Chains A and B, each alone.
Chain A
Amino acid sequence: MQDADFIPGEYEKLRCFNEQGILCLGPVTKSGCGKPLAADKKQIPRCVKGFMPCRGCFGPIRAGANPMVDMMTALSSIGLDAKQIDDRRALLNRYIGGQNRLRPLPQRKGV
């Protein structure tokens, strides 16, 4: 975090959170939360306005989307090893329970 130089108000210049090493679901979410306070202001997602990464609280972006797979691809494309993320199942699928996707975890062999 220490080398991330945020300038409040200048969200366009904000460097991608994932590139900074902060896990952000931006690549697979569609915002929807950003409400411009005034007509001349830009629509900025609320968490980003607080300098925090997105975690997809508006749910999956489309029917049948698989955000975990999409997110792993996005992370790989900037040179990160997605498999190193601890607890990735919970981090990347956080707000999809409402779409009836919660089900028992499959038992892995040898675990």
Chain B
Amino acid sequence: MGKQIVIQPVTRIEGHAKIVIQLDDDGNVADTKVKVVELRGFEKFCIGRPVEEMPRIVTSICGVCPWSHHLASAKANDAVFGVQLPPAGVKLRELCNSVAYTEEHILHFFFLSGPDFVMGPDADYAVRNVIGIAQANPEIGKKVIRNRHLAAQMLEIISGKPIHPVTAVPGGFSKPLTKEERDELLPMAEEVLEFAKFSISFAKNDIFPKYLDTVKVLGVINTGFLGTVSDDGALNLYDGKLRLMKPDGSYEDFSYEKYTDFISERVEDWTYLKFPYAKSWGEGFSMDSSDPKGIYRTNSLARINVADKISTPLAQKEFEEFRSKFGRPAQLTLLYHWARLIELLYSAEHVMELLNDPDITNRETRVPVTPRAARGIGCIEAPRGTLIHDYETDDKGMITNVNLIVGTTHNNAPINMSVNQAAKTLIKNGDYDQGILNKIEMAIRAYDPCLSCATHNLDGTIPILVEIYDMNGKLIETVKN
């Protein structure tokens, strides 16, 4: 057996992972695995808690996308209590979701994946980070930090608490928005919109052209896609129907309450992360990259692929350009970044739309709820993919069962396939260096994975292996469940 290369930790992603690349005797890649090395346990310890507390508990799953969990949980709560929300309640939630999107897409493009493009994938790792960007382009660095800060401040004005939010409650939103607060938010939202416009033109003019060759080869796989669209087929990040697209571009739409008819999950013994696959295609599950079966992707590229159009004018223009360039569905993995910037522009425009909506300052933001035994499913497009919260309660409104499917989990199989493809293309005859290993990490980063979200599960079906070593590195005990 040949050499083993381990990349640990994978940097500039959310959460912890390692890549193991097994070389054969000739130094070519025999096998690769992306191992996720953390464990949370939310589905277990949420049982017995009051369901109305869930929106405030699940925010702790992730400090990067707490709003997505918060809102998905609030939507599941609405379904459990069986209530219809007043329009202002829905719009305030949607506003928070869109502002959070701008914050997170800025974070991912400039802080996490941008350094690979701005500084170059082969640059020394000491400068291949956001500090490097700030030193090389102080003006851009300042803008990036300011606009992310603005988005976080906007969330603070709307809801009091931007990280681990509390304001989406069953039946609506706890705090109405005053006209004064709206007037304070408008100039901030305009500045973020300007920055979104700048980001996409900067990326299209200065970054993407340089890397077109890399985009065409790195991590490329052929899969289906899953995303949310409105009734008219437009991109929607808060509510709508799910659309599952096959690799050939044909698709079926379904309401998210029926997700178990279309998606199933599979467990492998070498990672804590589950592998969801498209059950409704009836072809089973295979990660063989020459003939993948049941594999679909989520996150930005998937949403852009399944959408027929975008409801805001500037983003629609970018959307048309993207589609005419890359077709439908676009499969190149690194196009995730491009799609993400289109979404950034859409979110920034949507924030302006919502703030200018007279309904947004209405005082009727919530309706009362009464506990009952029920099952409720909430679904939202998190920045990292389709997020589903599924709760069951007893007649006092206490949780009896929880299932969470988060965005990154959907992308688990595709991430593994992309890394495999990248490693096989780049490592030949045992030749590799820091630049090549970083390019393999880039295949992961394109998916913007959040592994702290994805490993929320501890339900006994996931095999846990604890290896205990003594101080000399000798294995003394192995504990398994």
Q: Do A and B come from one complex?
A: yes
Q: Which A residues are closer than 8 A to B by beta carbons?
A: 1-2, 6, 8-9, 33, 37, 46-52, 55, 57, 86-87, 90-91
Assess A87 versus B175: contact at CB under 8 Å? Given A51-B167, A57-B164: no
Question: Hey, what's the 0/1 contact readout for B156-183 against A, CB within 8 Å counting as 1?
Answer: 1101110011110100001111101100
Contact among A9, A37, A52, A87 for B167, CB-based, below 8 A: A52
CB pair A8 B181 closer than 8 Å: yes
Interchain Cβ contacts under 8 Å between A and B, 19 examples:
A2-B368, A8-B177, A8-B181, A9-B180, A33-B161, A46-B160, A46-B166, A48-B160, A49-B161, A50-B175, A51-B167, A51-B175, A52-B169, A52-B175, A87-B49, A87-B50, A90-B48, A91-B50, A91-B53
- CB of B366 within 8 A of chain A? yes
CB pair B178 A8 closer than 8 Å: yes
Assess A90 versus B160: contact at CB under 8 Å? Given A1-B366, A8-B175, A51-B167: no
CB pair B167 A50 closer than 8 Å: yes
| B residues 395-409 in Cβ contact with A at 8 Å | 396, 398
Question: Hey, what's the 0/1 contact readout for B140-169 against A, CB within 8 Å counting as 1?
Answer: 000000000000000011011100111101
Smallest CB gap from B175: residue in A: A51
Assess A52 versus B160: contact at CB under 8 Å? Given A2-B368, A8-B178, A86-B398: yes
Assess A49 versus B56: contact at CB under 8 Å? Given A1-B368, A86-B398: no
Residues of the A chain whose Cβ atoms lie less than 8 Å from the Cβ of B181: 8
B401 to nearest A CB, angstroms? Answer: 16
Q: Which B residues are closer than 8 A to A by beta carbons?
A: 48-50, 53, 56, 156-157, 159-161, 164-167, 169, 174-178, 180-181, 366, 368, 396, 398
CB pair A6 B175 closer than 8 Å: yes
Smallest CB gap from A45: residue in B: B160
Q: Complex Cα distance A37/B169, Å? A: 25
Smallest CB gap from B180: residue in A: A9
CB pair A50 B49 closer than 8 Å: no
Residues of the A chain whose Cβ atoms lie less than 8 Å from the Cβ of B174: 50-52
Shortest beta-carbon contacts, A-B, top 7: A50-B160, A49-B160, A50-B167, A46-B161, A52-B166, A51-B175, A51-B174
Q: Complex Cα distance A51/B168, Å? A: 11
Q: Complex Cα distance A81/B160, Å? A: 31
Contact among B156, B166, B366 for A37, CB-based, below 8 A: B156
Residues of the B chain whose Cβ atoms lie less than 8 Å from the Cβ of A2: 368
Smallest CB gap from B45: residue in A: A90
CB pair B48 A50 closer than 8 Å: no
CB pair B156 A87 closer than 8 Å: no
Residues of the B chain whose Cβ atoms lie less than 8 Å from the Cβ of A90: 48-49
A89 to nearest B CB, angstroms? Answer: 10
Q: Complex Cα distance A46/B156, Å? A: 9
Residues of the B chain whose Cβ atoms lie less than 8 Å from the Cβ of A50: 159-161, 165-167, 174-175
Q: Complex Cα distance A85/B175, Å? A: 25
Smallest CB gap from A89: residue in B: B48
